[in-house]
């Protein structure tokens, strides 16, 4: 028996794409990704959320937070996202990816493979992120317990021309996900 939210194999939408959500820690990237993932699944899309924290735990556990290690982590995630995307999955990637050249290398990998790629900047100011402080990182940095926090004492290179800029501090999660869904629709991906 199927419910209205269950979609049969024949009804699944199989156009893949990578949607990379970049921004500071606690910007709202993962929350928006999961909200959008639910909407896309309800429409019959195959969707995976490649959460940066989970990737670090399972695929990049030996990496630290040096620039080289961060680049390696981003390239691993980019490879996995492109693999999923070219096989009909919407890969939602809420990962900080602080360096523009790392993000551009991922975009180039997708372009070379002919796989759709969208870069979304979740542009939440550091002051708002530090109040949200979902993982307690800003408090730990302020207390001197950690260093190298992206956007505070380690660089974050904002995208110069993302496909979409979301200011999550001025709208709800649902509104942010709706703006991203509208972009996917406009590009023929939803």
125 is in an annotated binding site: no
25 is in an annotated binding site: yes
24 is in an annotated binding site: yes
Alpha-carbon radius of gyration of the chain = 17
Closest-CA residue to 132 (of 56, 29, 36)? 29
Strand 17-22, strand 90-94: pairing: parallel
28 is in an annotated binding site: yes
What's the rounded Cα separation, in Å, for the pair 128 and 28? 10
DSSP single-letter state for residue 160? S
Angle between helices 29-42 and 173-186 (to 10 degrees): 60
Closest-CA residue to 170 (of 136, 122, 138)? 122
What's the rounded Cα separation, in Å, for the pair 189 and 34? 17
Show the DSSP H helices in the chain as ranges: 29-42, 52-58, 67-85, 100-113, 126-132, 137-142, 173-186
Closest-CA residue to 107 (of 20, 21, 170)? 20
DSSP single-letter state for residue 24? S
27 is in an annotated binding site: yes
H or E stretch covering 11: none
8 is in an annotated binding site: no
Binding region for ATP: 23-30
Residues comprising the binding site?
23-30
């Amino acid at each position: 028996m199927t419910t209205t939210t269950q979609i049969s194999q024949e009804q699944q939408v199989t156009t893949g794409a990578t949607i990379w959500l970049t921004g500071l820690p606690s910007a709202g990237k993962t929350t928006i990704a999961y909200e959008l993932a639910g909407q896309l699944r309800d429409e019959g899309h195959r969707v995976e959320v490649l959460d940066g924290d989970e990737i670090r735990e399972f695929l990049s556990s030996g990496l630290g937070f040096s620039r080289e290690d961060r680049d390696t982590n981003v390239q691993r995630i980019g490879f996995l996202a492109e693999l999923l995307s070219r096989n009909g999955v919407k890969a939602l990637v809420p990962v900080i990816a602080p360096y523009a050249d790392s993000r551009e290398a991922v975009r180039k990998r997708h372009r070379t493979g002919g796989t759709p790629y969208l870069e979304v900047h979740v542009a939440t100011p550091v002051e708002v992120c530090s109040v949200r402080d979902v993982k307690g990182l800003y408090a730990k940095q302020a207390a001197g317990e950690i260093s190298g926090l992206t956007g505070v004492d380690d660089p974050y290179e904002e995208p110069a021309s993302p496909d979409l800029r979301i200011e999550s501090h001025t709208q709800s999660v649902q509104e942010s996900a709706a703006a991203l869904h509208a972009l996917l629709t406009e590009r023929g991906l939803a």
